Structure 1
Amino acid sequence: MSKLRVNAFTLSLDGYGAGPDQSLSNPLGVGGENLHKWMVGTRTFRHMVLGKDGGTTDTDDGFTVRSFENVGAWILGRNMFGPIRGEWPDENWKGWWGDDPPYHVPVFVLTHHKRAPIEMKGGTTFCFVTDGIHSALEQAKATASGRDVRVGGGVSTIRQYLEQRLIDEMHLAISPILLGSGEHLFAGLDMLKLGYRCTGQVATADATHVTIGRV
């Protein structure tokens, strides 16, 4: 049965999934890029995102590999797609990733402003959903053909699905840095009352990998 998953989503020690002042030059907010040291050197990240050879094949890479397995569709918040706010001024912005994004399946982008789907190289199609998280999930599951749907973020999008108890499992990578401010994943959420429990943890030099499931 298709699951709704969060994978390889990185938090700082103080719980932030992005730093403050996100912009075109700081897409993850000030200091946010430092969160992902655990992933950027892995063989999977280098191959799938950077199009390069080499990289580590350690525990961090294992979690990165699993994050892409059995994924038939993605859901992203608009901030994850780009820095533009309000109405789309034109059709020029097509995401952070160039002509061949690393998704290779349909990606449903939550937004308040209509836009036609964008077909990219490698099988990625960005579809823009204006009628909320439930509609995005319904469309994503229909497209995924029995495979899982991965929520890529950002923090606000994950929180919305958590509040509705729709996420089946999460893998969070806790990076050993402090951001001080930004977007906090768990602020105001009672994860126990929502029915979630920690199901495992593994520490590496650059992250503590935590898995959370719904019971």
Structure 2
Amino acid sequence: MSRVRVAGFGVSLDGFGAGSEQSLTDPLGKRGKDLFQWYFHTRTFCSMVGQEGGSVGDIDDVFASRAMENFGAFILGRNMFGPVRGPWPDDSWKGWWGDNPPYHAPTFVLTHYEREPIVMEGGTTFYFVTGGIEEALDRAKKAAGTKDIKIGGGVSTVRQYLQAGLIDSLHIVSAPILLGTGEALFDGLDLRGLGYSVTDRKVSEYATHLTLERG
């Protein structure tokens, strides 16, 4: 059965899922990359960026691999897709990832401004959804078939789907860092009240992997 999941989402000890001041040079905001030190050393990440090496089979690599497995569609917020704000000035921006993004499946981008779909290499097509989170999820479910849908971020998008109780499983990676400022993932959310509980916990040298499920 198809499920709606968040997977491989880094969060600092002080609760931030991204740094402040996103820009072309800091896609995840200031110090945002520090949230993913658990990920960069894995074979999964190295393979994705065309590099050899990386750890194989350790806790981090297992979770990194799972974070991209069995997804038939993805949903991203506008800020996750890029730093452009307001109306699209033109069609030049096609995401952070180059000609072959890592999704390899239909990917739905939440936005207030219409834009034609973008067909990329490797099976990724970006569709721009102006009707909100439920419209994006309906379209993603139809595209995914029996596979899962991944809510890929950013923080605001994950928060909206959590608040609506639309996420079945949430894998967060608690990184042993303090960002101080940024985008708070859980601020104002009563996860227990929304039906979520921690169902799994694994600790690596780099982070603590926590799985939350909605009962």
Instruction: Using structure 1 for the length normalisation, give the TM-score.
Output: 0.98
Unaligned runs of 5+ in 2: none
Matches within 5 A, 1:100-139: 100-139=100-139
Aligned to 2:50: 51
Distance 1:5 1:140 in 2: 12
Distance 1:69 1:190 in 2: 29
Aligned to 1:195: 195
1:29 aligns to 2:29 (yes or no): yes
Residue type at the aligned position of 1:26: D
Displacement of 1:198 in angstroms is: 0.5
Distance 1:29 1:202 in 2: 27
Displacement of 1:147 in angstroms is: 0.5
SS of equivalent residue, structure 1 residue 142? helix
Displacement of 1:21 in angstroms is: 1.1
SS of equivalent residue, structure 1 residue 90? coil
Displacement of 1:99 in angstroms is: 0.3
Distance 2:123 2:52 in 1: 21
Distance 2:200 2:44 in 1: 22
Distance 1:53 1:139 in 2: 36
* Per-residue Cα deviation, 1:14-63 (whole angstroms, up to 9, x for no partner): 11000111111111111111110000111011112x11121101110000
Distance 2:66 2:7 in 1: 8
Distance 2:70 2:15 in 1: 28
> Which deviates more, 112-121 or 51-60?
51-60
Distance 2:41 2:131 in 1: 38
Identity among equivalent positions (%) equals: 58
* Per-residue Cα deviation, 1:80-129 (whole angstroms, up to 9, x for no partner): 00000000001110000000001100100000000000000000000000
Distance 2:80 2:46 in 1: 20
Aligned to 1:141: 141
Matches within 5 A, 1:1-215: 1-48=1-48, 50-57=49-56, 58-215=58-215
Distance 1:45 1:83 in 2: 23
Residue type at the aligned position of 1:178: L
SS of equivalent residue, structure 2 residue 67? helix
Runs of 4+ that moved beyond 2 A: none
Instruction: Using structure 2 for the length normalisation, give the TM-score.
Output: 0.98
| Aligned-pair Cα RMSD in Å | 0.6
Unaligned runs of 5+ in 1: none
Distance 2:18 2:89 in 1: 25
Distance 2:52 2:25 in 1: 26
Residue type at the aligned position of 2:64: T
Distance 1:2 1:210 in 2: 21
Distance 2:113 2:97 in 1: 21
Distance 2:11 2:164 in 1: 21
